[in-house]
Structure 1
Amino acid sequence: MIYNFDEIIDRRATNSFNYEGWRSHLFPLEEDLQLPYSDEEFIRMWVADMEFSSPPPVLDAVRARLDKKILGYTQVYDKDYLNVLKRWFEKWYQWQIDTDELVTAPGIVEALYRLIPLLTTEEESLLICTPSYAPFYRAGIKNDRRVIFSPLRVTDGYYEMDFADMKAKIENPENKVRVFIFCHPHNPTGRVWKREELEQLGNICIENNVWLISDEVHCDLLRARERHIPMATVLPDYNRIITCTAASKSFNLAGNMLSHIMIRDVETRQLWKKKFNDYHSPLSVVGTQAAYEHGAEWLQQLNAYLDLNLQFLKSYLNEHLPLAKYRIPEATYLAWVDLSPYLSKRGNEPRWTTYFAKEAGVLIEGGEVFVADGEDYIRINVACPKATLEEGLRRMADVLNR
């Protein structure tokens, strides 16, 4: 079946975070900000969900579940669900998951908020690489834990971990680093970490008895010829590793709020189960199972479409904003673009987000929301029809070239 990723879908009146909730997120301190565009006129390329239909096999499964007529309390009891997960990770990543390690959570962010107080005391801290997905930082701060940064090194748009810096900060007794939260593949830079990098990181954690939480939610969204290696397969014998996965990003099911958390350590897993016993939406359960069981063809076509959109973005920037610095990401549908050569165009406006909303009617996230080391960047979500992407880029180039 050929899927149509050029379809423009009207998301109004759906209580969508992207469409109805953007003001409270992008402008939390200025919700009354006056902008010269109506809601319908904005091009939205900010939050990380897609402007594409969720996979038809998933929608069919949800409709079939609705025909059962009762939406009662639901958890995962059917072994078929677990077998579908096993087949997916074995087929695509040669990872034989142990479903005895599996617990579920209403989203990976919520899982992080729960894990930090399970794994640390108030005197201990966690380490993240920056720029960073902001909830990694908030998972520490909201639990009254110190968060220590290890900046990634960047050369011509290519990001690498600074292992010497990470090792020094972990081994510094004053830091009391207990947990490293690892984004794999990385958001916002789009890096797919290579085996030698994973091994080096793993050795640092093992040598210092540090918990490693690997967020692998973007693992299915790879460029052609890229390969994701689950961290759990790199460290098969290390007990202090936790892997976080979900169908949410891969299959545009962000609202499903059902994530899979693999906790290898038995004591920690038992403590989780003692504290948390989530029910799930029955539609989330069948939707997730259908995605992993019947969504592979849709996902392959999606990745091919994203490849083209990311290449189109590069070509467009080369022609219309040649000073912008951008490297096609190895994974994700998120483009990380350095606009520092155009800072003078922003004038007195402190944020790219506000500038593009006011001047171009385009909603993007500025690099300042990614904790540190991204202040001159913007993150563009290209998981949208090409026509939408082209119009958004046209508007942004027009205002920067005025």
Structure 2
Amino acid sequence: MIKTYNFDEIIDRSGSGDLKHEALLPRWGRNDLLPLWVADMDFATPDFVVDALKDRLSHPIFGYTIEPTEYRPAIIDWIRAHHDWEVKPGWLSFIPGIVRGIGFVVNVFTELDEKVIIQPPVYHPFRLTPEANHRKVVFNPLRLREDGYYDMDFDNLAEVCDDKCRVLVLSNPHNPAGLCWSEETLRRLADFCYEHNIIVISDEIHSDMALFGNRHIPFASVSERAAQISITFAAPTKTFNMAGIVSSFAIVPNEELRNRFYGWLKANELDEPTLFAPIATIAAYRKGEEWRKQMLAYVEENVRFVEDFCREHIPGIRPLRPQASFLVWLDCHGLGLKHKELLNLFIDKAHLALNDGRMFGPGGEGFMRLNVGTPRSILRQALEQLAEAVNEL
């Protein structure tokens, strides 16, 4: 009998130390905001993950452990089944977080005078991490289409790229716009980067959350050229709502890149997972398909709810339907507000905490990022507060 999961359940997160609520006061200067910002969900972490952790907790010694034999097969089987990509066991390594992984690659493969390319508007650590490591970040902005979606600008990429560019960080699927890049686009990017000796870090943490019939395509799978220049990062954390359990992994098909990168990880003992990371990963990938399907169906209905509500009550806001993830990119230009006024509307008038579009770089002004991975009653409350604030403009 198939279990039915309840995503309408409201779970009180107070006392759990969650970033979503506890960071309101230091970040916004007030704690009376409804938080729909940081990219984790308000749904209970699946019972099969919790049960696997409880089972291990029943043993009273938490000493040094080896990597479980089922760890790599669970990842490989999941990727094969969901993304039609055959990953070899030796290509894999645990990494202690994807943003940290970006920092590792920057330090291993670039010198202080070399550059990292990003494609804004995009997840802000893509810029912040290289900059904090004293590398110059080069912008290759995405091109906004009339339908609200984006294309890569290859003409601009050719203009901004020089012989100091060593790494390009790809958001695949794209955050914040929720795009599943086409095979043609990924292959074209691979050809360009291969010809310019550029390593592509492909952040694929939202890869298991394709929506509305869309499909995620792993960058490394589109061609041999892509495979030879790629370092792919992924994790079960977004899909199964367990970001606090750092369980990320890297996939590097190219032996030379792999030896250099994984050798550095090993030298610094950064390739050794914490006790609970493999346990959670195995449980998610071996038992999680039904939960994932039900969760994605609920998220799709939440996206439709946002679209319908905005169309009827806030026509000045145009939600971009995500092709993947639980994040909705809200185009607020129709409100006719300057960006500072837009923030005032959301924060001080509507009492909502969303991600400010400007933080994602050039092209993000006039946008807000909404997390719809929450019970629909909370989403309804947020949109009603926003509609009331807009009506008072």
Shorter-chain TM-score: which interval? over 0.9
* Structure 2 counterpart of 1:266: 258
What stretches of structure 2 of length at least 5 have no aligned partner?
Answer: none
What amino acid maps onto 2:186 in structure 1? L
Distance 1:59 1:266 in 2: 33
Give SS of 1:326's match: strand
Corresponding position of 2:131:
141
1:122 paired to 2:124: no
SS where residue 213 of structure 1 aligns? Answer: strand
CA distance in 2, matches of 1:266, 1:307: 37
Counterpart in 2 of 1:196? 184
Once the two structures are superposed, residues 152-206 of structure 1 have per-residue CA deviations (whole angstroms, 9 ceiling, x without a partner) of: 1111211111111112222x34xx1110000000000111001111111111011
Amino acid at match of 2:238: K
Give aligned pairs, total.
384
Q: Distance in 1 between matches of 2:213 and 2:346?
A: 34
SS at 2:170's partner residue? strand
The equivalent residue for 1:250 is: 239
Distance 1:369 1:161 in 2: 19
User: How far apart, CA to CA, are the structure 2 residues paired with 1:210 and 1:278?
Assistant: 24
- Rounded Cα–Cα distance in structure 1 between residues aligned with 2:228 and 2:188: 17
TM-score scaled to structure 1, two decimals?
Answer: 0.92
What is the percentage of aligned positions where both structures have the same residue? 33
Aligned partners of 1:216 and 1:58: how far apart in 2?
21
Q: Counterpart of 1:369?
A: 359
Task: Tell me the SS of whatever aligns to 1:350.
Answer: helix
Contact 2:233–2:249 under 8 Å retained in 1: yes
Match of 1:10 in 2: 12
- Candidates 214, 235, 240, aligned match of 2:223: 235
SS in 2 for 1:54: coil
Equivalent residue, structure 2, for 1:43: 34
Mapped to 2, the partners of 1:146 and 1:78 lie a distance apart of 40
Tell me whether 1:396 sits opposite 2:386 in the alignment: yes
- Aligned match of 1:184: 172
1:117: how far off?
A: 1.1
Partner Cα separation in structure 2 for residue 353 and residue 262 of structure 1? 39
- Whether the aligned pair in 2 keeps the contact of 1:334 and 1:381 (CA below 8 Å) is yes
Counterpart AA for 1:132: V
Corresponding residue of 1:216: 204
1: CA distance, partners of 2:330 / 2:201? 27
Partner Cα distance (1:118, 1:165) in 2: 27
Q: 1:314 corresponds to which residue?
A: 307
Structure 1 residue 23 displacement after superposition: 3.1
Q: Tell me the SS of whatever aligns to 1:280.
A: coil
Question: 1:64 aligned to 2:55?
Answer: yes
Q: What's 2:291 paired with?
A: 298
Distance 2:361 2:64 in 1: 38
Give the Cα separation in 1 of the matches to 2:25 and 2:306: 26
After TM superposition, the structure 1 = structure 2 runs for residues 341-380 of structure 1, keeping only pairs within 5 Å, are 341-344=334-337, 350=340, 352-380=342-370
Unaligned runs of 5+ in 1: 28-32
- Contact 2:172–2:203 (Cα < 8 Å) also in 1: yes
What amino acid is aligned across from residue 181 of structure 1 in structure 2? V
- Select which of 269, 272, 282 maps to 1:289: 282
**Mean Cα deviation higher: 217-226 or 379-388:** 217-226
Q: Per-residue CA shift, 1:282-319, capped at 9, x if unaligned?
A: 22321121001101110010110111000110000001
Deviations 1:211-262 (A, max 9, x none): 0110000001111311111111113354221000001111101101121011
Q: TM-score, normalised by structure 2?
A: 0.94
Aligned partners of 2:144 and 2:273: how far apart in 1? 41
Is the Cα contact below 8 Å between 2:231 and 2:251 reproduced in 1? Answer: yes
Verify the 8 A CA contact 1:74 1:280 in the aligned structure 2: no
1:154–1:160 CA contact under 8 A, matched in 2? yes
Look up the equivalent residue of 2:319 and give its one-letter code: Y
Secondary structure of the residue aligned to 2:49 is: helix
- For residue 109 of structure 1, give the secondary structure of its aligned residue in structure 2: helix
1:317 & 1:141 partners in 2: Cα distance? Answer: 37
